[in-house]
Amino acid sequence: MKQKTIKSVLMCKPLHFAELNYIINPWMKPGTIKEQIALDQWEQLVNSYKKLGITVNVIEQPLGVPDMVFATDQGIVHGKKVLLSRFWHEERRDETQFYKDWFEQNGYQIEYLPAGAYFEGNGDAYFFKNKLLVGIGFRADEFTCEAVSKALDIEVIPLQITNASFYHLDVGFLPLNDETAFYYPKAFNKRSREVLKQLIPNLVELSEEETEGFSANSVVTGNTVIHQAGNPTFTEKLKKLGYNSIDVDLSEFKKSGGGAHCLTNILKYYE
């Protein structure tokens, strides 16, 4: 069983997250975010990573791009290349330039998707062994899959998401290692559920409560899972699978439909 350990991540300091003023997924509650609490929760997540020896690179948030805090959506990093996202919603498109600048300044080679290919980075994509699983239906489509497959020279498996609450793959799906993944069956259509069952030897169901608690939106490093606080049954499931869990209260970010995974773009694993 292969367990990868994270070496470094990219995160965005939520300096203006509370100005959120639009709704593009059903979890969003504009006007209710408390800026200082969000900042404190984010710092807690940063500190959890630092305690685990993970290097945290920080990009600061300018005005006018509240969802920019969700670093994972900005692109997929592979080695020193990054496949830059193209956001489905107009509301998020201005975020890209800031990440593009950061990646360029930090020596990454930027790869672009062709016009008309929408893609929201790791929000909708997980590597599983030698394949890339991509969530389609809300922020990406079949054309995205073709384009990403070409850009990364990898086999892409589309997974059809059925409900707007699971607008991104990382709300209803979480791989732990090369054998085990969590999923919320109702987030996917029948065919995609079958695809997952064929592909993943140990596919563990998440309950509705666990899914609504954003259990899937977690970060896995070695045998530790950093996840949204207040998910005791998920913690139990992890323990049974031999994983430690670190709880972080990220309730302010849930008010935009995000959690630990959304806030964290993994740059590098240990070899």
Which residue ranges make up the site for ligand ARG (CB under 6 A)? 24-25, 28, 67, 70, 72-73, 92, 123, 168, 170-171, 256-258, 262
217 versus 224: smaller Cβ distance to ligand ARG = 217
Tell me which of 145, 168, 227, 261 is the catalytic residue.
Answer: 168
Torsion-angle region of 167 (φ positive above 0: left; ψ -120 to 50: alpha; else: beta) = alpha
30 versus 185: smaller Cβ distance to ligand ARG = 30
93 versus 197: smaller Cβ distance to ligand ARG = 93
Residue 72 and residue 262 in contact, taking contact as beta carbons nearer than 8 Å:
yes
Taking the C-alpha atoms of residue 123 and residue 141, their distance in angstroms, rounded to an integer, is 14
Q: Which residues contact 101 (CB under 8 A, 6 or more apart)?
A: none
Q: Is 95 in a helix, a strand, or coil?
A: helix
**Beta carbon of residue 239, minimum distance to ligand ARG (angstroms, whole number):** 25
Tell me which of 12, 145, 227, 262 is the catalytic residue.
Answer: 262
**Beta carbon of residue 252, minimum distance to ligand ARG (angstroms, whole number):** 12
DSSP state of 113: P
Asked if 145 is an active-site residue, the reply is: no
Asked if 16 is an active-site residue, the reply is: no
- Residue of minimal CB distance from ligand ARG? 123
Of 27, 34, 37, whose CA–CA distance to 217 is shortest? 27
**Beta carbon of residue 242, minimum distance to ligand ARG (angstroms, whole number):** 26
123 versus 158: smaller Cβ distance to ligand ARG = 123
**Beta carbon of residue 107, minimum distance to ligand ARG (angstroms, whole number):** 25
Alpha helices (H) along the chain: 35-51, 95-105, 142-152, 190-199, 208-212, 232-240, 251-254
Q: Which residues are catalytic?
A: 168, 262
